[in-house]
Amino acid sequence: MKMKKFALRGLLILAIVVALCMFFSGTVRTLTTPKVRFAQAKNGKFEQEIELKGKVVFPESEEIRVPVPEDLSLTITQVKAAAGDQVKAGAVLLKARVTDAEKTLETLKKDYDTAQKELRSLEKKNGEIRLTRNEEIWQEAWLEEEKARENERSAWVALRVSLLRENLEMQGETLPEGAGEESRNAYQAWQTAGEALKRAEDRLKAMERYAIPEETWTSLRQMEEYREKLQKTEEQMTAVQVLSQTAETIPAPHAGYVIEVKVEKGATADGDTVLARMTPDGVAPVIRLDLTGIKQSVNQGTTVIVDSDSWGGASTKVVSTGLDSEGHPYADAAITEDVRYALGSVSNMMKGDIKARLVTKSQEATCLVPAAAVRGSGDSRYVLVGETESSAFGGSRMIAKKMSVTVLAESGSTVSVAEDLTWQKVLYMEDRALTEGGPVMQYTGESGASK
């Protein structure tokens, strides 16, 4: 009886020891086995945000000038617009006045009165001059020959100027070899003018017997010169008066944006002076983003997020892409109402660089994995996946297995890979280093975790 009790007590102690060993062995295994989470791989289009810098540019521009007659100039009295201003048609950009207008009008008036006085004196002195019909024909021939000679001289000067631009000179009356199209056209114009002069000379020579007496002809030419001077002086006075009224305010020809004001208060300007530049009608400024070093494809319609310190991000779209004068790639993003609300006026945007994020999305769906789950570098990229294996005693455990992947694109949070990992248990966020073939456990409390 005592032996039976002793045996039972021994079996009970053995059971307790075995149970304690099993408990502590499980606890030790739980404490020493790396804990992991399973990454959620999914199929989708890879989306990435790329931080860029941009600036306001004006894709097209037109120059603002004022038609100022020769020998006159304007003095800028007030500058009313600045770069980046959005203006309506007719908005005043500048104010100006004709330089020394009163003094110029006074001088012209004196010249006019003097010419008129001399003409009246000559008309009174030669009031009895009467030309025959043949003398009138000779007069016409003489004037025609004079005009033809002036045209031929002007054509000759234009030809020589054109040749000088090409570092060439006339060889007598022959066009030098290698002359460009402009010079060839100028040469043809000179030849045509020369032929017209020859015809006018021949006509005048044929009418020589009807020539007006020298004294009479001199008087007629003097009177004609005074009449021409009166007409020219009157036109100049009118031009000063008209310009004084029209140049008082220089308006925007249409709605748009002022790109640049090229004159200051007190500056002088003539008809060739560019006063300002603005956008053509219907053309808006854009934010030009520098794409140097960006490998992703950027197309029209790509989303751009413009960052603002005060209002967060404003969304817009790429409207065009291209290469700048130095061959650098760029993308132009539209300046929408949201962008203006976030960054302020265009003139405010022009004060410095604009921070933006380019949101690119792949055209085809791929497998997307959290970036923390993809390991390695360069061409040797891989993931560790959990694989269940059976033990010799009927149990099972999970081990880490290395699986190579092909990285298509990656960002700070997501990696696009060519392989389909949606059915794999991709391991990441481990609490300690993992070894290939080593055991792993899922964090307690997560779906499918070991108990």
Q: Enumerate the domain spans of the chain.
A: 1-32, 49-58+282-364, 63-96+247-278, 101-245
Lowest mean pLDDT among 192-196, 330-334, 359-363: 359-363
pLDDT for res 100: 77
Topology of the domain covering 49-58+282-364: Elongation Factor Tu (Ef-tu); domain 3 (2.40.30)
Query: Residues 19, 26: contact at Cβ < 8 Å?
Result: no
| Best mean pLDDT range from 1-15, 152-166, 225-239, 417-431 | 417-431
> What mean pLDDT do residues 346-374 have?
88
The structural architecture, per CATH, of the domain 63-96+247-278 is Beta Barrel (2.40)
Arithmetic mean of pLDDT, 366-391: 89
Compute CA 144 distance to the chain's CA centroid, rounded to the nearest angstrom: 54
Mean pLDDT of 367-383: 91
Q: What is the mean pLDDT of residues 6-12?
A: 63
Residue 402 pLDDT greater than 60, yes or no? yes
What average pLDDT does this structure show over 119-133? 71
pTM: 0.57
Largest CA distance in the chain: 178
Average pLDDT over residues 390-408: 81
Q: What is the mean pLDDT of residues 211-216?
A: 73
CA distance 450 to 441: 7
Tokens coding 77: 């009295």
- Residue 426 forms beta bridges with which residues? 39, 385
| pLDDT above 70 coverage of the chain, percent | 89
Length of the chain: 451
Q: Say if residue 370's pLDDT is above 60.
A: yes
Mean pLDDT of 123-145: 74
Higher pLDDT residue, 119 or 115?
115
Q: Helix %, strand %, coil % for the chain, to 5?
A: 35, 30, 35
Q: Which of 80, 67, 97 is nearest to 266 (CA)?
A: 97
